[in-house]
Amino acid sequence: MLRGWQFWVLTALAIAQAVLVGYNMSAFGDNRKLQIEVNQRAIFLQQTPQAEQMARDIALSLAQLAVRNQDTEVRQMLAGLGITVNLNEDASRAAPAAGAGDGKRK
Whether residue 106 is contained in a domain is answered as: no
- To the nearest whole percent, how much of the chain has pLDDT over 90? 41
Side-chain half-sphere exposure of 13, counting CA atoms within 13 A: 6
Whether residue 24 is contained in a domain is answered as: yes
Whether residue 76 is contained in a domain is answered as: yes
pLDDT mean across residues, the chain: 82
- Overall number of domains in the chain: 1
Q: Which domain holds residue 73?
A: 7-100
pTM value surpassing 0.85? no
The tens digit of pLDDT for each residue in 10-42 reads 999 999 999 999 999 999 999 999 999 999 999
Whether residue 1 is contained in a domain is answered as: no
d(CA 94, CA 26): 60
Whether residue 83 is contained in a domain is answered as: yes
